[in-house]
Amino acid sequence: MVSRVREMIERYGLLGPGDRVVVAVSGGRDSVCLLHLLRSLAGAWDLSLHVAHLDHALRGAAGRRDAAFVRRLAARWNLPATIDALRRLQTLQTITGSGSRRMPKRP
């Protein structure tokens, strides 16, 4: 799989030697796989990787667990990381564009 990713990056000119790459990692399988693949290529291409994660405060404890997982993963792989969370009001304003509407209550 690493060779196919390398081929696609080269074919489309997605990355170049010495690039700094911010990798958005949700904590799900696809983004963790992407981070793993880029980490595998980082040495050969002299890439500087930085992990970014944002808890949108929409999933409560599950979102906080994802953030903690991403933080631990970045630390284990010795990668710098920015982990942040929105407050619920900020999330509401982003969704509605104003914050004047109320989010529906969960049953």
Give 20-79 pLDDT, tens digit per residue.
999 999 999 999 999 999 999 999 999 999 999 999 888 888 989 999 999 999 999 999
Tokens linked to 97: 């564009």
Q: What is the pLDDT of residue 57?
A: 80
Q: Is the pLDDT of residue 87 over 80?
A: no
